[in-house]
Structure 1
Amino acid sequence: MRMGVQLDSVHTVYLFGVAAIVLSMVLRANVVVPAIIATFAVAATYTGSLIGATISVFNGSLVAAKELFSIFLVIALMTSLLNALRTLGADQQMVRPFRRVMTNGHVAFLVVAAVTYVISLFFWPTPAVPLVAATLLPAAIVAGLPPLGAAIAIAVAGQGMALSSDYVIRVAPGISARAAGIPEAAAAVADKALVLSLVTGVVALALGYLAIRAQIRRPSQMHLDRWQSGASLASSLAEQREQVAPNIGSFDKSVLALQAAEGAEDLPGEAALAGGGTLAAAQAAPATRWRTILALATPAVFGALILFMLAPKLIEGLPELKGGDAAALVGGTAALMMLVATFAADGAKAMHTAADHIIDGLVFSFRAMGTVLPIAGFFFLGAREFAGAILGLPAAATAPDLLFEVIRSVEHLIPHSPTVVAFAVLLVGMITGIDGSGFAGLPLTGALSGALGPVAGIHPTTLAAVGQMGAVWTGGGTLIAWSSLIAVAGFCRVPVLDAVRVLFLPVCAGLVLSTLVAVVLW
């Protein structure tokens, strides 16, 4: 052993816990159960007390919740804003003008990808996919884009590029940085993940476009008639479920995406007002005015926020947002805009409906991210800064540093090559994404990044961004059929396995290139 690190039974139990969680992900089983059992086993081995171990199971999720609640809150507030915009129909109004520029299938591919990316960057792909599919997909098909091409554009831009960087909401960078033991570096992880996501996405989009280019046809209404005469959305979703439902993994986003897809045919907006007669027409006049205002203001405001966050990196001397201020700024802006949209839609009733929007946002947030807490709690147990609180140790006691001690004990076996280590972390991230979750593996890739970075001579934030790419691109909805790619395929009415086959090589090529870029740049 090097550096005097002596492994004992606690380290062995912790490693068995890591192996059990990874194996559960590979087998597409729910990872919450092994995470809780592993936390209990490690705590029982360390403290020698079953009561203390039981308390540690609770403390693990509690510590993770304290560290990650700001992320939950940002998701909730952004979701509440989208719900308020949807009530007015402003969400559809935002994307409708892009239908006019889709003059042919080649342009339609780029427009669908660009709009999906922007909306998914602000609101996540789960609610963005139904919006883009319902509003832009018919026009894209008329323009000559094949449904499979639309599925590629939506999946790569939304579930891939936007979700893997998560630059606006910053859920993924926050989890990765905290698991690496450097929560103050979440902004650095986000910046690097943005660059890597763009590299991966450009490569995947380009190769995906070449794969379907020969299928693009001249614009014709017949394309849409043929597409609509096939299976209905409901039957298409049922078919996707029949193919892969037994394999859906532990992360709820795939389920949420399916639920959003099933409700797409009932999207609110102008159609909802059309059947209400004179009263509906009277109510529609102010609603239409506010719909247009908010459809313009929402992307303008969030675009300005992104420029504000990027400005200090481009212009020296400008103050940079510290710690979680960037996510807090996004969440506060979403809350204020939600109030504006709610009062515009409901008037005096907004005092009640605004609270309902926030509650709905919190419900969505915990359904989408709640399973991460016990998983993060287990991996936090392997880091000294969190282990003391989880194990209930006195403040003066020295907490164990399990994962870092294991890494240091086998340091002589680890190649001191940034390239080898970066690809190893990428591979671990891709393995953790096999369960179709995307974010469930981030505590592991983040923890490995914090431990391996100093050994391999590469900054932990770089490794965390690389691992994030592997986990989210794989499980977020581009390479795994039982992820939220089900919803994309259901909307486009193409077999989900066909989408996986076409996406596999473009996405893998993009991940390899972006990992090389990470090693060279950082």
Structure 2
Amino acid sequence: MSITLNSLHWIYLIFIFLIIGIMVRKRDTTLVCIIGIFILGIVATKSLPLAISGVFNSLIYAITELLGTILIISIIYGMSKVLEATGINEVMVSPFTKFIKTPTLAYWIIGILMMIISWFFWPSPAVALMGAVLLPVAVKVGLPAIGVAVAMNLFGHGIALSSDFIIQGAPKLTSEAAGLPVGDVINASIPLVITMGLVTTIVAFIILKRDMKSNKIRVEENNINISLYSNEKGTEGDIVKTMLSSRSKKIFSIIIPILFALDVFIMIKANLQGGDATALVGGTAIFILTLISMCTYKNKGLEEITQFLIKGFQFGFKIFGPVIPIAAFFYMGDMGFVTVFGEVLPKMSQGIVNDLGVALAHAVPLNDMVGAITLTGVGSITGLDGSGFSGISLVGPIARLFSTAIGSGAATLTALGQVAAIWVGGGTIVPWAVIPAAAICGVNPFELARRNLIPVIIGLVATTIVAMFII
């Protein structure tokens, strides 16, 4: 089928390159996205009022599409703050400390535990949940604080966040942008996540052991600067940790993993994916937050539930604030354009991105290698803003564009772009994205980013090669 490109297609393509260029320069893309939507509206409708209102409506459309993802992350974060404030998090991870006997065990146990907890709580809350407890133990057995930070960062903000199998915020975002079922993207990401995770963590461990042996990095047990959260109106801090008895903390530390394990069992048994799986996890988190708040704060529990939810929503919209405008622009590449501006595309059009993909297939001989390298490059570039999530709104449409041209591999290319964007920006090698892990371990975020750089680059190369054979 031959598609005739018009001015809308070229404007959209120009703004894609502008957005990528601005991300490379580490600047915010919000203004460019808004201008892009406005110009598309002017050209499509020939009406200034419709174009102006279209900018607002596009943001509403994006928020509507992203609302489930924003909500689940907000609720999970709010629940994690309850666990942190009451000290239940310390009880949950303390059984694992007896297995940490050597630096090698410390690296892998902390990393794997961080990955598992991050799948359920997301990495930033998971750092706070376990970092303060496991860091002193690791340092005591000979693993430097920078080694703990590397393990927590690569396994949490790398493997767990780029896969996001349980909460499914990342794959839901990329799958919607690419117009694919979320299950397809998750399944396609499994071999890529495994490759990236194994290569990166093993290379990082080898470099870490080499530098420990040569005394480039040393253990300084008395120089641990753990970043603790301040006491805010009684919702956090050491005072709150004494409000629950040790027995109650132990009971909750057992019940919480069981509840989430049941969620996973139900997901598998009932074949729940996407929004249904997210709703199950989110509902469980709300009940956990509510139960712990009421048991801890008693008469003030009603107000504290609201406070923890507010903290969660503040975190959620802070994370997704930069994402909404860029998502709004890239939703315009699909049939979201029709929702916002009406039936203004050519009759044969399948959406701006699909049209560009078909045109590209007729004009340029593309192959699996070019597609895989391009998606890794685009994902990495868009991750340079330090968010990761703003970038995966872009890789979806580009993956669909290239898969249309190649004739296959839409899910794999989408998953590859997601992995690259989040590993870079979500993040492991952008200094301002590694601050949570660096702060809790008391290390320089720039030093942590430098130490992650070589392993992540090697991992991206290996993952891209694997993707070439899968597409």
TM-score normalised to structure 1 length: 0.83
Q: Deviations over 1:441-470 (max 9, x none)?
A: 111101112222232132322111111011
Provide the alpha-carbon RMSD of the alignment: 2.6
CA distance in 2, matches of 1:308, 1:415: 45
Contact 1:429/1:467 (<8 A) preserved: yes
Task: Tell me by how many angstroms 1:123 deviates.
Answer: 1.5
Give the alignment of 1:178-193 within 5 angstroms.
Answer: 178-182=176-180, 185-193=181-189
Cα contact 1:417–1:457 (8 A) shared by 2:
no
The match for 1:166 is 164
| C-alpha spacing 1:371/1:445, structure 2 compared with 1 (3 Å) | same
The one-letter code sitting in structure 2 at the alignment partner of 1:175 is L
1:57 maps onto 2:8 in alignment: no
1:203 maps to which of 192, 199, 205: 199
C-alpha displacement of 1:180? 0.7
Q: Aligned partners of 1:500 and 1:11: how far apart in 2?
A: 38
1:469 aligns with 2:419: yes
- List per-residue Cα deviations over 1:331-350 (Å, max 9, x = no partner): 11111222221222122432
User: How much does 1:439 deviate?
Assistant: 0.7
CA-CA distance at 1:270 after TM superposition: 8.6
Q: How many percent of aligned residue pairs carry the same amino acid?
A: 31
Given candidates 319, 328, 335, the residue that maps to 1:377 is 328
> Match of 2:456?
507
**Secondary structure at the counterpart of residue 437 of structure 1:** coil
Mapped contact 2:168–2:278 kept (Cα < 8 A): yes
Go from structure 1 to structure 2 and tell me whether the alpha carbon gap of 1:497 and 1:353 turns closer, same or farther (over 3 Å shift).
closer
What is the aligned counterpart of 2:13 among 7, 15, 18? 15
Contact between 2:27 and 2:385, CA under 8 Å: does it hold in 1? Answer: yes
Can you list the C-alpha shifts for 1:191-227, whole angstroms capped at 9, x where unaligned? 333442232111111111100113448xxxx945443
Verify the 8 A CA contact 1:134 1:264 in the aligned structure 2.
no
**Counterpart check, 1:423 vs 2:369:** no
Tell me: CA distance 1:295–1:152, structure 2 relative to 1, closer, same or farther (3 Å).
same
Following the alignment from structure 1 to structure 2, what is the Cα–Cα distance between the partners of residues 444 and 18? 8
In the TM superposition, what are the counterparts of 1:25-424 in structure 2 within 5 Å?
A: 25-182=23-180, 185-216=181-212, 223-228=219-224, 232=225, 261=227, 263=229, 271-272=238-239, 283-285=243-245, 288-309=246-267, 311=268, 319-321=270-272, 323-383=274-334, 385-393=335-343, 401-424=351-374
Given the two structures, how large is their TM-score scaled by the length of structure 2?
A: 0.91
Which residue does 2:431 correspond to in 1? Answer: 481
Is the contact between residue 416 and residue 457 of structure 1 (CA under 8 Å) also seen in structure 2? no
| Rounded Cα–Cα distance in structure 1 between residues aligned with 2:408 and 2:350 | 24
Q: Which residue of 2 aligns with 1:258?
A: none
Contact 1:415 1:421 in 2 (8 A): no
Residue 250 of structure 1 corresponds to none
> In 1, are the aligned partners of 2:235 and 2:304 still within 8 Å (CA)?
no
Give deviations 1:450-509, integer Å, cap 9, x for gaps: 2222321323221111110110001112121232x1332333333333323322221122
Paired residues of 1:89 and 1:269 also in contact (CA < 8 A): no
Q: Which of 430, 442, 445 matches 2:392? A: 442
CA contact (8 A) 1:56 1:392 kept: no
The answer to which of 127-136 and 98-107 deviates more is 127-136
Contact 2:435 2:445 (C-alpha < 8 Å) held by counterparts:
yes
Cα shift readout 1:388-432 (whole Å, capped 9, x = no counterpart): 112144899887722222222222344442232122111111111
Alignment partners' CA distance in 1, 2:349 and 2:315: 35
Q: Secondary structure at the match of 1:482?
A: helix
Inter-CA distance 26–105: structure 2 relative to 1 (3 Å threshold):
same
1:340-395 deviation line (CA, Å, top 9, x unaligned): 21222122432332233223222221111122111111111111x21111214489
Q: Which amino acid aligns with 1:464?
A: T
2:390 is paired with a residue of what secondary structure? coil
1:443 partner letter: S
Q: 1:477 is matched by which residue type in structure 2? A: G
2:458 is paired with a residue of what secondary structure?
Answer: helix
What CA deviation, in whole Å up to 9, does each residue of 1:64-103 have, x standing for no partner?
A: 1111111111112212221222232111211122222211
Secondary structure in structure 2 of the residue aligned to 1:177: helix
Q: Contact 1:125–1:159 at 8 Å: present in 2 too?
A: yes
Indicate conservation of the 8 Å contact 2:139/2:221, yes or no. no
Name the amino acid aligned to 1:487: P
Give ranges in structure 2 of 5+ residues lacking alignment.
Answer: none
Q: Would the aligned equivalents of 1:106 and 1:216 in 2 still touch at CA under 8 Å?
A: no
- Matched-pair contact (CA < 8 Å) for 1:387–1:400: no
Q: For 2:264, give the aligned amino acid.
A: I
Verify the 8 A CA contact 1:436 1:474 in the aligned structure 2: yes
8 Å contact kept, 2:144–2:220: no
5+ long unaligned stretches in structure 1: 234-260, 275-279, 312-317
Secondary structure of the 1:95 match is helix
1:460 alignment counterpart: 410
Would the aligned equivalents of 1:144 and 1:216 in 2 still touch at CA under 8 Å?
A: no
Deviation at 1:323, TM superposition (A): 4.6
